């Protein structure tokens, strides 16, 4: 018996896991397959006759309209991505294959949900630039920002400061209370440091319990002295009650100034690191019992 393919095609379209859209030259949806309910949360009868732009993410409208123009001019595409707003308010990432059909006077697109892939890509991009525990800038990106800041400071004859922080006696927290508690303390330190800086400054975790702070466009050493006092004060604030009797550890901070203490990244990092160790040594001597 011969198969009536013409009758079978509509059923096949509605069986597809990807969503098929047909949109007229006035940007109104004239057909959408059943898979759209899983994609956007709308039934086909809710979408038909409405402008498709109504459901596009506002931040993607410009790029999407440019893509639509290309498609309507005969440039089919198979790799355009954008975001749509679901009926429940959620955001879905879509990969499109689309072409313009002169025969029906509409553009036909197949939409695939790639939200999981897009979020995984975003996470990988984030991890490439940030410390996975504290979410601060990582060592590699901090180095790039320091070099860029030095270039700007040299060009504009401005100053900057580099702070190198080490958490005192942090090893004992891990040894006595466990690494999970130590990790929570590191995250708290990260947030406290961020709260002490401007949006134009950079806080980074260099590894372990070492942090750096890049302060750009500074006007005097007095300003950095006040910043150091602020950091020490904020860091000395008690831990939340859930930490019990555990006290917030203090920190030792070394500071290097451009251009007085160095004119390149390596020199400034070395200088601030050495200053930090001098602070730790002085703290040890101050705490050493007399006569021992």
pLDDT digits (tens, 9 = 90+) for 56-115: 999 999 999 999 999 999 999 889 999 999 999 999 999 999 999 999 899 999 999 999
pLDDT at 12: 78
Average confidence score pLDDT of the chain: 92
pLDDT digits (tens, 9 = 90+) for 207-257: 999 999 999 988 888 999 999 999 999 999 999 999 988 999 999 999 999
Average pLDDT of the segment spanning 6-20: 78
Average pLDDT of the segment spanning 269-278: 95
Is the previous residue joined to 259 through a cis bond, with omega within 30 degrees of 0? yes
Task: List b or e across 64-82, with b for residues whose CB sees 16 or more CB atoms inside 10 angstroms.
Answer: beebbeebbeeeeeeebbb
| CATH 3.30.70.270 domain extents, the chain | 130-287
pLDDT digits (tens, 9 = 90+) for 216-225: 988 888 999 9
**CATH class as words, domain 7-119:** alpha beta
pLDDT at 280: 87
pLDDT at 27: 95
Residue 2 pLDDT exceeds 60 = no
| CATH 3.30.450.20 domain extents, the chain | 7-119
Instruction: Give every CB contact of residue 57 below 8 A, 6+ residues apart in sequence.
Output: 82, 83, 84, 85, 91
Residue 4 pLDDT exceeds 60 = no
Q: Which of 5-9, 138-142, 278-282 has the highest mean pLDDT?
A: 138-142
Is pTM beyond 0.85 here? Answer: no
pLDDT at 14: 81
- The answer to whether residue 209 is catalytic is yes
The catalytic residue among 209, 217, 273, 286 is 209
Structure tokens at 54: 């109504």
The CATH fold assigned to 130-287 is Alpha-Beta Plaits (3.30.70)
> 292 falls in which pLDDT band (50, 70, 90)?
very low
Structure tokens at 19: 């969503």
């Amino acid at each position: 018996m011969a198969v009536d393919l013409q009758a079978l095609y509509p059923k096949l379209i509605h069986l597809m896991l990807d969503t098929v859209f047909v949109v007229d030259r006035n940007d109104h949806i004239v057909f959408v397959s059943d898979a759209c309910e899983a994609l956007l949360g709308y039934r086909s009868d809710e979408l038909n006759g409405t402008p498709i732009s109504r459901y596009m993410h506002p931040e993607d409208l410009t790029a999407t309209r440019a893509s639509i123009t290309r498609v309507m001019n005969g440039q089919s595409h198979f790799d355009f991505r954008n975001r749509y707003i679901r009926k429940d308010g959620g955001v879905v990432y879509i990969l499109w294959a689309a072409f313009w059909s002169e025969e029906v006077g509409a553009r036909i697109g197949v939409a695939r949900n790639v939200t999981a892939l897009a979020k995984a890509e975003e996470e990988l991009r984030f991890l490439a630039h940030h410390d996975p525990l504290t979410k601060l800038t990582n060592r590699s990106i901090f180095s790039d920002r320091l070099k860029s800041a030095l270039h700007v400071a040299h060009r504009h004859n401005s100053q900057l400061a580099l702070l190198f922080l080490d958490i005192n006696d942090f090893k004992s927290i891990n040894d006595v209370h466990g690494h999970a508690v130590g990790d929570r303390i590191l995250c708290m330190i990260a947030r406290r440091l961020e709260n002490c800086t401007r949006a134009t400054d950079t806080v980074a975790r260099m590894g372990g319990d070492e942090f750096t702070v890049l302060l750009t466009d500074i006007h005097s050493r007095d300003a950095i002295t006040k910043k150091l006092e602020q950091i020490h004060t904020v860091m000395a604030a008690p831990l939340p009650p859930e930490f019990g009797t555990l006290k917030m550890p203090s920190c030792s901070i070394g500071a290097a100034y451009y251009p007085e203490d160095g004119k390149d990244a390596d020199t400034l990092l070395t200088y601030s690191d050495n200053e930090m160790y001098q602070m730790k040594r002085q703290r040890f001597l101050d705490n050493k019992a007399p006569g021992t």
